[in-house]
Structure 1
């Protein structure tokens, strides 16, 4: 029996309806399904080798975490509910780390796969001379291992873990996990943590759809989406609506959808020792970024441009092939290089950014093959020699809202460490108020309020205090009401605006601007489409990105 009075049980051979008969027992208040929860990582591409130098992940720069100093004396602690933390990676301040085991999943400090170790590194990897640096380097962390070998846990595990986080003195709970279906026991546990002044952060999910995942979908939990290094939304990042209900029962609640995003595409962090694959490449002695495709080994040779490598080429003999993308697979390109006598292959992207990939399950090649960025194409083509090395590493790349979530958790701790008179809800509001608007103007279902910015949040709290501007939507009191109805069979929506900065506002329907109208008058949108449907509106100050929260009307 847990301290909050709940127990998880299995009833073999009985369905849920049969089990609910136990409610006749006066000592039982509630029976509900124990929902499954799983880790959220969309895919991973191992690359990079920070084994001999400190490497700062792009999300640190993107979120301004490098512009704010972590106050280690503030006593901040992040509780990570995940798959554990492997002690073989030395890029942590181990004196600041503790943990609990849960649900028979093994010790928290034993290898449960790379997921939990990667998450922990993003939050708090040490600022030393090697490896990566976390958002809040060296922060106190408490690990709770809730996942079994198959990567599954249950909502009751998370409810119990929330109690353990509280008992450990954590300020923040970070969960890169989720699943379908709400559970009141789980929801109540996180609400209790928030009511006590804490902050709970969880991943939106990686299915690229508008399904609401839990625990991120609870109002007490801050839902996090993922963006890439170019400020684009990740194609896998889920985007549930902020609106529930239909007709007159429509309700909009920004706490049940994505609130902010952070870097979650190809993010570099800690791995259990030797579990990641790393690629290193130099051209004429200068280091260039690369991603490991296949085949460990180390080679150095003269550069030979092989075009798109769609046939063998005797000029490649004894050289490192530099290859453009074309009409055949990565595997066949590398095979043609090797069959021509080539000793290594570098395949260059045909668009900005790194080329990630593999040579497939039936790889029959043996020479080291790496991907390279389009931006480095000119330098690689002009080089006389290229050296390629592929081996194991303690650091690797992963992608998912699982990676964005610890970035926000660590950043929240970083900001909070300099304003520890605030509570978790106030830190949550500050992050939203200062996020960089991305995507469609104003708040949207993909980015929420935008990409988190540590320095901006720190300055906001310094200028405005923990309570910010005293209430209202983050960033101001500009609001809009939306009333949908039918008149003689025609769908109409009346929009009324309050708190606009100027005399006119831009009105958006489903992400597209439909008109500019007076801020002091009610605007009626007449919808010509037949049948039912849902329409999402927002208003922005004329020509600006200062916007109201979205309102959805369903017919």
Structure 2
């Protein structure tokens, strides 16, 4: 196992390949009567269908050249409850290179989000038994030459569910899932990195391979596979709702669990799913300076229901970003050797002491150590570069590959390309790459010192640790914080933990709750102390007042609430202990749901107070 000895270097993230949505056949979820599922499967196959997934209460199938309407027409059977599109889901991380600024020789790094979220201020005992279920691309348990597993995980505390389509849970489908797992659970063992809840029990459900795509049916089945865990963490999402998927996560939450999902990375106000379901806590990303990540999606909390005169828009905070955590330049675990690290040192004149400079991987593994040669923008070959390390300026509309190729063609042993604008230079040499010498990027701030150097050493090597950015990285950070807080408050439910994280979050952005940060950056110690002081259930169970009445009725998938006796112009509406809407105190509210069975419990309160109605339960 190649343990990274951290220096002022850069770690490069492998770019996950993706498959065009148009190249993937449309799939459908068919909700069925379990006792007669075999009949439906046989019918689907007889009609030319390909059954991809068989789970409790549903199957997923595709029919070549058929759309939803045509499939509904084909499958007319009393044992079929519902047919709907199986929505596509994808991983939510960005390819990224960045600089690791630490003391040379450190053997364990604490990622900034640990400090930022107060996770370093609480101890964690894995023996408490809190378990996080990670639905992702598996985890890299592959061994090194000595037969050792990745040293940053407590493998005795990690289980998983195999998938016939994606393979063994302990065989990674790209680095994403391993990176996520490290953010949650990397051990505090003096090696590599440390997670939010070091050594916490994990259950891994592998729904993605290196294509980075999956389906809502895969997530619905995965939610069932997570049974027995306390927390589900999903660094994934996509467009469109799916009732089978939604119900699976609602059932997990109703059983006392907590479900988290990434808001998305498209820098827009589009609502992604499963994060957009009320039972799922939507997580945004911030950077090390407490600023919102420029990629973090920020859907409105407003939900519009009804048509014509019955059209109504209400605010539902469970449908938008609720909290954030560090998700920019997040350092975490990788499967063995899948990350790359760049190292750059230089000496000046008679000074024998090498100075480390920040650098980024561009291309070509290898090491070169030689005298330096300033080569300008390297627009042509230069025999003076023979046997030396080329110092190259960015610019003059010359591609990075051409610059490095001219260095190599001149006999250069390695290349350092220096930025011409503030900050680190990130880039690649493109494909196909016609060069072979190690090439690294450097910051403009170091240009003068590097050009004054007499010699330099550049190195690009493989590593088991790397950076990623995305709401994918923020989500496991919150999952780890939730596990940490829960371990100190074991009598709580997932709803209690969810509400405590919101109640104690550090405000970010504009003052007060907003669509970017939600309530703010999660604070582990503050949330734990809040629950210790207030107790579990206090947040969501205000005492009813006799003079306030609430009634509820339902028709189809709509619950109609009516109330009287509340003062003020605005009220909070709670469903199963979660504030689903802050709306006008006009005496009525329609709650549209996607549930065929089970029940909901409602309460209406004056905004921000414990002046509330009695509880009313609607059974379906």
| 1:432 corresponds to which of 492, 502, 505 | 502
- Corresponding residue of 1:68: 122
Contact 1:46 1:276 in 2 (8 A): no
Compare 396-405 and 26-35 and name the one that shifted more.
26-35
Q: Are 2:564 and 1:456 aligned?
A: no
Contact 1:294 1:370 in 2 (8 A): yes
Deviation string, structure 1 residues 280-306 (Cα, Å, up to 9, x no partner): 223443444322111211122345555
Matches within 5 A, 1:371-386: 371-373=441-443, 380=450, 384-386=454-456
Alpha-carbon distance in structure 2 between the residues aligned to 1:9 and 1:338: 54
| 1:43 corresponds to which of 78, 86, 95 | 95
Alpha-carbon distance in structure 2 between the residues aligned to 1:434 and 1:305: 54
Change (3 A) 1:136 1:209: same
| 2:72 corresponds to which of 20, 23, 27 | 20
Alpha-carbon distance in structure 2 between the residues aligned to 1:152 and 1:112: 11
Alpha-carbon distance in structure 1 between the residues aligned to 2:434 and 2:499: 53
Q: Secondary structure at the match of 1:432?
A: helix
- Corresponding residue of 1:534: none
Contact 1:102 1:157 in 2 (8 A): no
Structure 1 segments unaligned to the other structure (5+ residues): 473-495, 500-546, 549-555
Alpha-carbon distance in structure 2 between the residues aligned to 1:297 and 1:81: 36
Alpha-carbon distance in structure 1 between the residues aligned to 2:291 and 2:426: 18
Q: Are 2:58 and 1:6 aligned?
A: yes
| 1:251 corresponds to which of 301, 314, 317 | 314
Q: What is the CA distance between 1:153 and its match in structure 2?
A: 2.0
Q: What is the CA distance between 1:426 and its match in structure 2?
A: 1.8
- Corresponding residue of 1:79: 133
Q: Secondary structure at the match of 2:97?
A: coil
Q: What is the CA distance between 1:376 and its match in structure 2?
A: 5.2
Matches within 5 A, 1:130-529: 130-148=191-209, 150-166=211-227, 169-245=228-304, 249-283=312-346, 284-304=353-373, 318-328=387-397, 329-338=399-408, 341-349=411-419, 354-373=424-443, 380=450, 384-467=454-537
Change (3 A) 1:335 1:196: same
Structure 2 segments unaligned to the other structure (5+ residues): 1-33, 35-53, 143-149, 347-352, 543-567, 572-607, 610-620
Q: What is the CA distance between 1:244 and its match in structure 2?
A: 2.0
Q: What is the CA distance between 1:216 and its match in structure 2?
A: 0.6
Alpha-carbon distance in structure 1 between the residues aligned to 2:289 and 2:474: 14
Alpha-carbon distance in structure 1 between the residues aligned to 2:92 and 2:502: 23
Alpha-carbon distance in structure 2 between the residues aligned to 1:230 and 1:405: 18
Compare 178-187 and 39-48 and name the one that shifted more.
39-48
Change (3 A) 1:225 1:307: farther
Alpha-carbon distance in structure 1 between the residues aligned to 2:374 and 2:534: 58
Contact 2:375 2:390 in 1 (8 A): yes
Deviation string, structure 1 residues 518-551 (Cα, Å, up to 9, x no partner): xxxxxxxxxxxxxxxxxxxxxxxxxxxxx99xxx
| 2:174 corresponds to which of 92, 95, 113 | 113
Q: Secondary structure at the match of 2:476?
A: helix
TM-score in terms of structure 2 length: 0.69
Compare 78-87 and 4-13 and name the one that shifted more.
4-13
Change (3 A) 1:338 1:464: farther
RMSD (Å), alpha carbons: 3.3
Deviation string, structure 1 residues 494-521 (Cα, Å, up to 9, x no partner): xx9889xxxxxxxxxxxxxxxxxxxxxx
Q: Secondary structure at the match of 2:80?
A: coil
Compare 75-84 and 101-110 and name the one that shifted more.
101-110
Deviation string, structure 1 residues 237-275 (Cα, Å, up to 9, x no partner): 222111122795001111111122222233222222122
- Corresponding residue of 2:158: 97
Alpha-carbon distance in structure 2 between the residues aligned to 1:99 and 1:399: 25
Contact 2:172 2:335 in 1 (8 A): yes
Change (3 A) 1:364 1:216: same
Alpha-carbon distance in structure 2 between the residues aligned to 1:53 and 1:382: 31
Deviation string, structure 1 residues 124-183 (Cα, Å, up to 9, x no partner): 1122232222221111100011125533222122111111111xx211101111111111
Change (3 A) 1:174 1:311: same
Contact 2:91 2:236 in 1 (8 A): yes
Q: Secondary structure at the match of 1:450?
A: coil
Alpha-carbon distance in structure 2 between the residues aligned to 1:239 and 1:85: 29
Compare 382-391 and 189-198 and name the one that shifted more.
382-391
Change (3 A) 1:20 1:294: same
Contact 1:51 1:394 in 2 (8 A): no
Q: What is the CA distance between 1:366 and its match in structure 2?
A: 2.9
Alpha-carbon distance in structure 1 between the residues aligned to 2:540 and 2:219: 33
Q: Secondary structure at the match of 1:99?
A: strand
Q: Secondary structure at the match of 1:7?
A: strand
Compare 353-362 and 214-223 and name the one that shifted more.
353-362
Aligned residues: 476
Alpha-carbon distance in structure 2 between the residues aligned to 1:230 and 1:72: 30
Q: What is the CA distance between 1:79 and its match in structure 2?
A: 0.3
Contact 1:47 1:277 in 2 (8 A): no
Q: What is the CA distance between 1:429 and its match in structure 2?
A: 1.9
Alpha-carbon distance in structure 1 between the residues aligned to 2:246 and 2:222: 12
- Corresponding residue of 2:188: 127
- Corresponding residue of 2:13: none
Q: Secondary structure at the match of 1:142?
A: strand
- Corresponding residue of 1:479: none
Q: Secondary structure at the match of 2:83?
A: coil
Q: Which has the larger radius of gyration?
A: 2
Contact 1:47 1:278 in 2 (8 A): no
